[in-house]
Structure 1
Amino acid sequence: MQDSKFCTLNSYNSIEELLTKELSFSKSIVKRLLSKNFLKRGVNKGDELSLPLDLLNYQWVNPSYEGESMMVIKEDDNFIAINKQHGIHGHPLNYSERNTVVNFLRNQFCLSAFLDESKRGESNLLYRIDRETSGLMIFAKKNSIYESIRQNFNHMVKEKVYLAVVEGEFNQEGVHSHYLESFGKKGAQMRAASSGEERVSIKTSLVEYNEQRGLSLIRIELGQGVRHQIRCQLSEIGFPIVGDTLYGGCESSRLFLHAYEYRIEVDDIQFSAKAEVTDLFLTLFNLNSGL
């Protein structure tokens, strides 16, 4: 983590007082990034302090990008669609991170979402997909459009289609609905529950069965969309995704889940994009067979 040095203009009872009262950083962020002993230290006028850039640039996106180049699928005045590789996060959790979709966008495009006072450039991705999942991610260039879609997401996002590879010949085509709840350490997993606020659903169909390998390529139309929904529900109906060991899938070089297509309608604006698969999906299946 990089630091930046500066001299204090006044004296303070503690560094925590300087940061939270004088510089208006939130206590929770300050305590998360700095040790208790450091925060308790007194400050005299003219003292030189070193503070982490993750604090000083909190919520800003680092303009450097250190990952592989990403494919821009489509761009217009309102949106940019990216085909994300598996193994890469969508947005950074702190300023030090330089290998996410949003870092790539910040590095490649001059967008007001990264420069205005709202500091929410990292949030303008319209939805999240897991680090292990590949495929389509859509970024709203304007905060007004982002806010409008996020407030009415299920109404304005008309289509959400994913592809997955599962073991065996898939025989569970149709709509599958469950109540889901988080469990495990820090709620890291989801599981089906007997009750809840709302049932969530996916619609599944078989695209192709590779008999030689004993693998099925399936298409999933996502309903409401909650964390790990597809992974959890496919496991629940007996077909965990290849590579998804968290939900009972066999070990593999990757998690074979791919965000394939989204269609958006907001007011008089329409946007749709598809992220063609680019890795082992191609070698396992003939993807021209009617997706």
Structure 2
Amino acid sequence: MLVPRSLAGQRLDRAVALLLNVSRAEATGLVSDGRVKVDGVAVRVRHQPLREGQHLEVTLPSRPAALAPDPSVPYDVVLEDPDLLVIDKPPGVSVHPGAGRATGTLVHGLLARYPELAELPSAGAGDPSRPGIVHRIDRDTSGLLVVARTPAAYHALRQAIDEHRVERTYLALVHGQPEDRGLVDAPIGRSLRHPDRMAVQAGGRPSRSWFEVLARYDEPRSLALVRVTLETGRTHQIRVHMAAIGHPVVGDRRYGRAGDQRILGAARQWLHASELALAHPADSRPFWAKSPLPADLRAVLEACR
């Protein structure tokens, strides 16, 4: 399609959102994934302004097949009411289908117990492959996430997350000795050198992570247990931010250090979504949930001195 005069000077992500009638977040995802070309060249800078007459090409992801409920997927329900669910996800379970993961996700497990979630996308509440999912945590990260059960709850929760009114707190064991508390304020975008990774870089999306040291250890390595509170929620945000300040998460095979499994017994990234606080989308009453540390993370911590 050719960029019309009415969109001349508009940012790329806004123009894509308007032309395709999708949310700004969805448009940003298309840009970040390299699915948007301007005059035949893939552009990953979402704020690039457009000029009238430029040729804009967008490659949409293929529509997912119907999701089959899978009662074998493990998860715990912390809170359940007519509007939402708070789920405690174990490590090793992807939240939703994606590249290389078509079955066995949390979504498949939720549909086995809450089949009404399948109706949400048809009501304009979410992606067909992610019914009810308003945010996510990494496959090998354990802990809490909230799931919408109605269109109204979905839109209210999405807005609350976009406006930073959902407090998501994580526990992370990191290498080295960071300062007692601090803020990492650094934009995150798709790595230009490693497309399967995220990185701190100019032109990335604004990203802010607050951290506070809870405990320090000298053996078997210099380590610190930190509480991290997200102000934004970018892909791999805590892992990227802590690595960027020289304190990568223990056991992180993508952004961390070698030898963690051999020396510390960390078979996965030591990262747990421990607390979730928000106002209920139906009546604004505050609620808070907390998840205990899984056994594998406790074992690593108990070996530290």
Could you state the TM-score of these two structures normalised by the residue count of structure 1?
A: 0.69
Partner Cα distance (2:103, 2:300) in 1: 32
Do 2:117 and 2:131's aligned partners in 1 also have CA atoms closer than 8 Å? no
Match of 1:260 among 274, 281, 292: 274
Contact 2:177–2:247 (CA<8 Å) still a contact in 1? no
- 2:284 is aligned with 1:269: yes
The aligned counterpart of 2:213 is 206
1:156 touches 1:264 (CA, 8 Å); kept in 2? no
Residue of structure 1 in register with 2:236 after alignment? 228
Listed as ranges, the matches of 1:123-162 within 5 Å are 123-155=131-163, 157-162=165-170
Given that 2:189 and 2:204 are in contact with CA atoms closer than 8 Å, whether structure 1 keeps it comes out as no
Change in 2 beyond 3 A, CA 1:143/1:267: closer
* Counterpart residue number, 1:283: 299
Distance 2:107 2:173 in 1: 27
Q: Cα offset for 1:156?
A: 5.9
Please tell me whether the aligned partners of residues 164 and 218 of structure 1 are also in contact (alpha carbons under 8 angstroms). Answer: yes
The root-mean-square deviation of aligned C-alpha atoms, in Å, is 2.7
- Contact 1:149 1:156 (8 Å CA) reproduced: no
- CA distance in 2 between counterparts of 1:156 and 1:272 reads 16
- Aligned-residue offset at 1:182: 1.2
Whole-angstrom CA distance in 1 between matches of 2:196 and 2:89: 22
Q: Is the 8 A contact 2:185 2:207 kept in 1?
A: yes
User: Which blocks of at least 5 consecutive residues in structure 2 are unaligned?
Assistant: 1-61, 262-266
| 2:69 matches 1:63 | yes
Q: Aligned partners of 1:236, 1:93: CA distance in 2, in Å?
A: 26
Count of equivalent residues: 227
Is this contact kept in 1: 2:185–2:208, CA < 8 A?
yes
The 5 Å alignment of 1:1-291 reads 58=64, 60-67=66-73, 69-93=74-98, 97-110=102-115, 112-115=116-119, 117-118=122-123, 120=128, 122-155=130-163, 157-171=165-179, 173-184=181-192, 187-193=195-201, 195-196=202-203, 199-214=206-221, 215-250=223-258, 251-252=260-261, 253-265=267-279, 266=281, 268-270=283-285, 271-285=287-301
Letter in 1 for 2:187: Y
Contact 2:189 2:198 in 1 (8 A): yes
Letter in 2 for 1:261: E
**Inter-CA distance 122–192: structure 2 relative to 1 (3 Å threshold):** closer
The C-alpha deviation readout for 1:213-237, integer Å capped at 9, x for no partner, is: 3332111011111111111110011
- Mapped to 2, the partners of 1:274 and 1:60 lie a distance apart of 33
**Cα distance per residue 1:227-271 (max 9 Å; x no partner):** 111111100111001111211333431111111112122362344
Q: What secondary structure does 2:139 align onto?
A: coil
| CA apart distance, 1:172 | 5.6
* Structure with greater strand share of residues: 1
- Normalising by structure 2, what TM-score? 0.66
Instruction: Give the AA of the match of 1:100.
Output: T
Separation in structure 2 between the aligned mates of residue 121 and residue 198 of structure 1, nearest angstrom? 24
1:128-182 residue CA offsets vs partner (Å, 9 max, x unmatched):
1111211112111112211232244232633110111112333362111112221
Report the residue type matching 2:117 in the other structure: A
